[in-house]
Every structure is written in C-alpha cells, then in structure tokens.
Structure 1
C-alpha cells in the first residue's frame, strides 16, 4: 500500500476537491502548477498528469489547449476528475506499475506525488515515467522535503530523486522553490525539471 492510501484510506476525493474550490473562491490562484507547465510546453503539447488526483492540473492544461491524460491510484479522486472533465482520459493506476506510451512532451507530478508512493518504489516509478517521455521532453516534479511541507514524515531527498532521474537517463534542467519559479534556496519544497536526452 502506498503512503497516500495509508494516509487517506482512498476516500478523500470529494473533500480534496472542496478544499481547492474554497481556495479558488477566496481568490487564491489554484493553477500555479498548470501555469508553470504551460510555459514549458509547445502549443498543443501532450501531457501526463502523474498522480493527477481530482484532475485540477490536467483540466487546466486542457483548457489551455494541451492534450492531457491523468493517472492516479485513488478511485475517489478519479471519480471527481471524471465528473469534472468526462472528455479527458483518466486512468486508475499505481504509478510504480504503470507503463504509459512514450509520447509525452511533459509529465507533471505535483502535490507530493513522489513522497507518497509506496516506500521503495520511487526509482521504478521515475524509470517508468522517464520511459514515457519523447526525446527532449520534461519530467516536472514538485514535492516537500521536510515535515512542514508533507503530510507524512519525509522519505525522499533531492539527492535520491536526482539519482533516480539520472539512472533513468534524465538530466536536471532547472530547480525552483515554488511553482511561481522562485529560485531554489535549499528550503523544504522543490520543483525539479528534468529533461530526456
């Protein structure tokens, strides 16, 4: 069982969606991840939202003209995504066992996806995601590195993540502290952009 399922029991879709709806209603920008990714994509780029949850990022990127697919292990999250955007492709899958086609321009793993995987599956998950990228395409992952930025105890360091990416043939392109593109300063959250050769 992955750490997300241990944390939520796989029943948090409606509550998760309601939290972001409330943030949006209060005037908060809930599309930072999508905006960040859109700036890196070619027009009409093909995107995999890995660990898509309720589909917030994929749906926004689709609205911006990109061809999006979402994958998540949590059926309750996917139920919300399918209701919100029935025309998009939503796949129920454990990312450590998922083999998407290798034709994506960008794969995004937002929302602490990687630290919430089943412990010990991180390297295999990165390998599978890397294999789904076109040459020159990007893997973008944002996740917490300390207890202040995670709902569970930290389990993945940047050094480990970079080594998994390197082993999968990816090259670090850039690293930021936020989805707004602030420079990474060694803090407790990082957005990493790795490129396929």
Structure 2
C-alpha cells in the first residue's frame, strides 16, 4: 500500500484544512491577486490546444486558466475536497481524484500522452517522501516523448533540489532548463525556489 501523502496527513489531523486552502485562494482571487503566473509560463510553452496534465491540481487555478486559454486539460489531485472546488470554480477541464504515486490515466479512459505536465504549488513537497521518485516515474509514463514536465517547489521543505533532480533522472527525466521563479529568472545554487523544465531522456 502506498504511504499516505503529507497533504492527506494534514487533512486527517485537521478536517478543515482543505476548506481553509480553498477559501484562501478564493479570497485572493476576489481581491484581484495574480494567481496565474505558473499557468502563463505553461501557456507560453505550449502549442495551441495542447494536452496538459495538471498534476496535483488543487482547486484548479492553474488548469482552469489553461483550459480557458484553449488547452485540453486534465487535473488530478488526491484530495476530493480540492477536486470538488476545481469542478465548481473552473468547469471545463476533466478533474479527477487520484494519487499521483498510482497514476494510471489510461485505465480511466484518458487518451495518452500529454504534451506538458505541470506540477505547481509545492506539490512535490506534499507527497509522501517514499513516493517522490515513483511519482516522477508515473509522470514520465504519461508524458509524450517530445513533451516536457514543469515542476516547481520551494527550498526548505524537506526535499532538497538536488535530491529531486536525482529522482527525476532515475525516472528518465532530464533538465532542459532550471529557473528560480515562474517568471523565468535563472536558477543558481542556493536559490530558494526551483522551477525545473524537464524532458524525457
């Protein structure tokens, strides 16, 4: 059995955690905050009408933007409450409850592969540590041979960037470009954030 994610451990400890997270982003959206920085980068990278997997989609802010921009989006998240919020706030994409460590979209009738897989919002740090390499392997299995995976997360969250890149290499993904922000600033050693644009080896 796959170890429970850190996110779902938080939900088990505090049943209101998911709703707090949903309300937080809804409040920021009402206040006019820019919540689409990650999605704009992905949109700029993608051909029109690209197939995009939002891995760890949460309440749908990235995938919702990309669908509105004309892309074919599937979003997957382990938390049913977040998927329900995505369906309510961002109708259009196909939103699915699922554990990324067991990702098997063909078994759920989803045509493969994806042109781009995006994982924003520190998703990698909310996975169970024992599943991180496995998740990257599952993402690679869903990625087109000419596709790219774009994964971003902050430092200081008990997942070193070097360990992540090692896990990516084990999964058959190599860096095309490493950035320190979603607004395309170069990555340097010691950066407090990593946006890794990866391609199949």
| Distance in 1 separating the partners of 2:183 and 2:104 | 30
Contact 1:51 1:95 in 2 (8 A): yes
Residues 136-175 of structure 1 deviation map (CA, whole Å, 9 limit, x = unaligned): 10111111111xxxxxxx3211111111111222120111
Counterparts of 1:185-196 in structure 2, within 5 Å, are 185=188, 186-196=190-200
**Which deviates further from its counterpart, 119-128 or 159-168?**
159-168
Contact 1:53 1:81 in 2 (8 A): yes
Counterparts of 1:36-185 in structure 2, within 5 Å, are 36-101=41-106, 102-146=112-156, 154-185=157-188
User: Does 2:29 match 1:24?
Assistant: yes
Contact 2:52 2:116 in 1 (8 A): yes
TM-score, structure 1 length as denominator? Answer: 0.90
Question: Taking structure 1 as reference, are residues 11 and 92 closer, same or farther at Cα in structure 2, changes over 3 Å only?
Answer: farther
In the alignment, structure 2 segments of 5+ residues that lack a partner are 107-111
Contact 1:47 1:66 in 2 (8 A): yes
User: Would you say how many aligned residue pairs link Structure 1 and Structure 2?
Assistant: 190
| Distance in 2 separating the partners of 1:58 and 1:193 | 17
Residues 8-63 of structure 1 deviation map (CA, whole Å, 9 limit, x = unaligned): 33653433232223223333211001001111111110000000010111000000
Contact 1:108 1:139 in 2 (8 A): yes
| Distance in 2 separating the partners of 1:39 and 1:87 | 20
| Distance in 1 separating the partners of 2:8 and 2:54 | 19
TM-score, structure 2 length as denominator? Answer: 0.88
Contact 1:13 1:78 in 2 (8 A): no
| Distance in 2 separating the partners of 1:110 and 1:68 | 15
Contact 1:12 1:76 in 2 (8 A): no
| Distance in 2 separating the partners of 1:29 and 1:120 | 33
Per-residue deviation, 1:192: 0.7
Question: Taking structure 1 as reference, are residues 43 and 32 closer, same or farther at Cα in structure 2, changes over 3 Å only?
Answer: same
SS at match of 2:129: coil
| Distance in 2 separating the partners of 1:11 and 1:2 | 17
